[in-house]
A = this chain, B = another copy of it.
């Protein structure tokens, strides 16, 4: 499986737009199309899940031919991998007042979930697609676990505490953004923070019961 960042497109040996400027690698004419495909893919995966988000539908949304998707991303799996490359940008919990880590995390995840439909796409797919599930486990392992480690002194307890935090945050995201329980949708963000904040705080810092 190709990494999320590389494409299966022909290697860019020579830059058609002249020498690469100092601002980054050469911008190709097709970059706009590539981005349009990724946007459409995220939207479709978030709305329909993996199987029903067809390449034809994604291509139609991006206003290009389905075969272009294959040329740029190799396969549907490659497209998915590229579309849901997520960086949670979890703040450094060790740099915060210890009593506020719970509330901070809840606020952060609410914001992330709302502004990035990629999370909805990822979890919708993860529920019924092995590759998607593996991707979420990677997220947990590589991003949440290290963050929790910064706030929990006993390394032995880190996985359990991180799992509890994940269950709570992911559970609320699921009920609100994926399953769309009306009661979860209608809660104000401040209420959510007030309820979930202390829970996450306890999972992170309370002594093992």
Once the chains bind, are A160 and B191 in contact (CB under 8 Å)?
yes
Binding site for B on A (CB under 8 A): 48-52, 123-129, 133, 136-137, 140, 145, 159-160, 162-164, 166-172, 174-176, 178-184, 186-187, 191, 194-196, 198-199, 202-203, 209
Beta-carbon nearest neighbor of A132 in chain B: B179
Copies in the complex: 2
Given known pairs A124-B128, A129-B49, A209-B195, the reply for A181 and B168 (CB within 8 Å) is: no
Once the chains bind, are B194 and A209 in contact (CB under 8 Å)?
yes
Once the chains bind, are B175 and A172 in contact (CB under 8 Å)?
no
Beta-carbon nearest neighbor of A164 in chain B: B195
Once the chains bind, are A133 and B195 in contact (CB under 8 Å)?
no
Residues in chain B near residue A168, CB distance under 8 A: 167-168, 171, 199
Shortest beta-carbon distance, A162 to chain B, in Å?
6
